[in-house]
Amino acid sequence: MRQRVQFQVICRQALPQCNMAEYDQLAAEAEAVGSEIFWLGGVNQAEVQRLEKLISLNLPTSFKRFLLEYGGGDVVGAEVSGIEDGDASIESGGTVLGDTNQCRKLFGLPSDLVVIYFHDNEVCWCLDTARLRDGECPVVSGSMPFPVEIDRSTNVTIGGSIPLLCSSTQT
């Protein structure tokens, strides 16, 4: 029996509206109140393109910019999946490739979703590339286990940006 898990849209705000200096400022503010921030380190354009080929999907412009600048990392205890050691082919936990492939293989994650946050095999936040428009797409969230049917009719909107989304928004 398939278990239905409802994915909700949790972020519609396009990241290009927030420049990298603003991310730096948000990170500095989080660190100033005692929150730990750890970035994997920015990657080059070739690795972002390589990741897109490895997952067979186009990433939204804003997430590509995030990878180029920060690479991924841990923000206030929530790890945003990224590219580790500047190598898109690393398939460990905490990488976009590793988290996406793990969810696809073990839980039947639909092939048009890209994992950007995966926690304890229970919570999965993804870029919904099936709804990629003008270079951007919503972030959707669902609870495990998969396989799932995604209810894309849900339109719950919560503002935020990907690097701090995990710390500021809970569903």
- Residue 125, token pair as written in the block: 């936040």
Asked if the 8-168 domain carries CATH number 3.40.50.2300, the reply is no
- Please tell me whether the overall predicted TM-score, pTM, comes out greater than 0.85 for this model: no
Q: Which of 132, 129, 134, 95 is nearest to 113 (CA)?
A: 129
Lowest-pLDDT range, 46-60, 84-98, 137-151?
A: 137-151
Whether the pLDDT of residue 156 is over 80: the answer is no
Crossing angle of helices 20-32 and 61-69, in 10° steps, is 60
State residue 39's pLDDT score.
83
- Residue 79, token pair as written in the block: 């790890």
Confidence category of residue 49, pLDDT binned at 50, 70, 90: very high
Which segments of the chain are extended strands (E)? Answer: 8-11, 37-39, 73-75, 78-80, 113-119, 123-128, 139-143
The domain ranges of the chain are 8-168
State residue 59's pLDDT score.
95
State residue 52's pLDDT score.
98
Whether the pLDDT of residue 169 is over 90: the answer is no
Q: 109-124 pLDDT, tens per residue?
A: 889 999 998 887 777 8
User: Higher confidence at residue 12 or residue 135?
Assistant: 135
